[in-house]
Amino acid sequence: AIQYHTEIQVDSLVQGGVDGLLFETYYDLDELLTVIKATRKKYNIPIIAQLTASNTNYLRDGTVINDALEQVIQAGANIVGLNCHHGPHHMKNTFSHIALPSHAYLSCYPNASLLDIENNNFKYSNNATYFGEVAEQLIQEGVRIIGGCCGTTPEHIHHIKTSVQGLKPIKHKKVIPIHKKQESMQHPSSKLNLKERVTRQPTIIVELDTPKHLDTGRFFKNIEALDRANIDAVTLADNSLATVRISNVAAASLIKQKYHIEPLVHITCRDRNLIGLQSHLLGLSLLGINEILAITGDPSKVGHLPGATNVYDVNSKGLTELALRFNEGINTDGDALKRRT
């Protein structure tokens, strides 16, 4: 469907005489690649292709921005870059980690600032002078085309022009690595994990939902019975079917303290933003809970609170990528955790 609709729109635009195409605000890398490839099948027109990143170094699905831009270039884009979601400060930080492409140019269209909500109204900072100052810094990071996205005005464009006037494009730059040096890194226990157990011996895992109330007697009697049966792990859902239950982390912590069963904790992307998910992973590691299952999560409309907010900053794939980075001792910004999860 994406390819079909792309061809219809691109045909109309090219036949109408456009000199180039700008594909922007793509959170989904695969979708952008499909659009570019569909265009390149028929036309050799210049293409500017811009992704939108959920945080400063990674796309929503966990792909490193440098890697994503290289894929966009390989698909056929002439100019690649980022737009929307972030203000000038965060965009500048992002481009400090982006290498100069050998066969394409870089572009950047920041928002006026990070989005704020005041009295139920969307609001952006109007510091156009600062916007222009950062435009000059973006040139030093190798950006060739600079514009404005949400919240920007003619005043912002004026300050961009004033700041970059007379500047020449750079040809070389020193890229700041995303992953900062790991100091005093400690390794977790060498105890056999579930994955290793599954590959070496028959493994029994039982799913048991935590209660919807505070009467936990029956729940822990079931855990006791499973412990006596010598099962390997109990898998604990995270408010499955968007229904409120006792925290699976609290239950997992008690299980580890009192029984020999390994808890396998589900983590849903529905209820926590990217900050909360990282905090959650750190807390699980601190409690010694090392087995997790990344779940995108049922939308709240299927549960008892259909009006509850669905967050979904990342999906299960993005959460898995996040957990893998934590296993290397690094958070989303490349900061050292000083221990691997």
> 107 vs 180, 218, 272, CA distance in Å?
26, 59, 32
Is 150 within any annotated ligand binding site? yes
Q: How confident is the model at residue 182 (pLDDT cuts 50, 70, 90)?
A: very low
List all residues 6 or more positions away from 12 whose beta carbon is below 8 Å from its beta carbon.
none
Q: How confident is the model at residue 100 (pLDDT cuts 50, 70, 90)?
A: very high
Q: Do residues 101 and 126 touch, judged by C-beta distance below 8 A?
A: no
Give the three-class secondary structure for 226: helix
Identical fold at 2-164 and 194-327? yes
For the segment 296-300, the average pLDDT, to the nearest whole number, is 92
**By percentage, how much of the chain surpasses pLDDT 70?**
96
Answer whether residue 208 shows pLDDT above 70. yes
- Rounded to 5°, angle at Cα 341 from 52 and 232: 115
Residue range 106-122, pLDDT digits in tens: 999 999 998 777 777 77
Residue range 132-165, pLDDT digits in tens: 999 999 999 999 999 999 999 999 999 999 999 9
The stretches of 194-273 forming alpha helices (DSSP H) are: 194-200, 217-228, 248-258
Burial 133-158 (b: 16+ CB within 10 A, else e): ebbbbbbebbbbebbbbbbbeeebbe
> Per-residue DSSP letters for 285-312?
HHTT---EEEE----GGGSS-TTSPP--
Is 269 within any annotated ligand binding site? no
Listed by start position, the domains of the chain span 2-164, 194-327
Tell me how far apart the alpha carbons of residues 29 and 50 are, in angstroms, rounded to a whole number: 10
pLDDT given for residue 191 in this prediction: 63
> Per-residue DSSP letters for 95-146?
HTTPPPPSSSEEEEE--SSS-EEETTEEE----HHHHHHHHHHHHHTTEEEE
Q: At what angle do helices 274-286 and 248-258 cross, to 10 degrees?
A: 10
Residue range 191-205, pLDDT digits in tens: 678 888 888 888 999
Q: At what angle do helices 248-258 and 217-228 cross, to 10 degrees?
A: 50
Is 84 within any annotated ligand binding site? yes
Give the three-class secondary structure for 53: coil
Give the three-class secondary structure for 177: coil
Q: Can you name the residues that pair with 122 across neighbouring β-strands?
A: 117
Q: Do residues 261 and 234 touch, judged by C-beta distance below 8 A?
A: yes
> 26 vs 36, 97, 125, CA distance in Å?
12, 20, 24
Residue range 224-240, pLDDT digits in tens: 999 999 999 999 999 99
The fold of the 2-164 domain, in CATH, is TIM Barrel (3.20.20)
pLDDT given for residue 32 in this prediction: 97
Q: Do residues 66 and 27 touch, judged by C-beta distance below 8 A?
A: no
Residue range 22-63, pLDDT digits in tens: 999 999 999 999 999 999 999 999 999 999 997 778 887 778
Q: How many CB atoms lie within 10 A of CB 33?
A: 19
Q: In this structure, which CATH number among 3.40.190.10, 3.40.1280.10, 2.40.37.20, 3.20.20.220 belongs to the domain 194-327?
A: 3.20.20.220
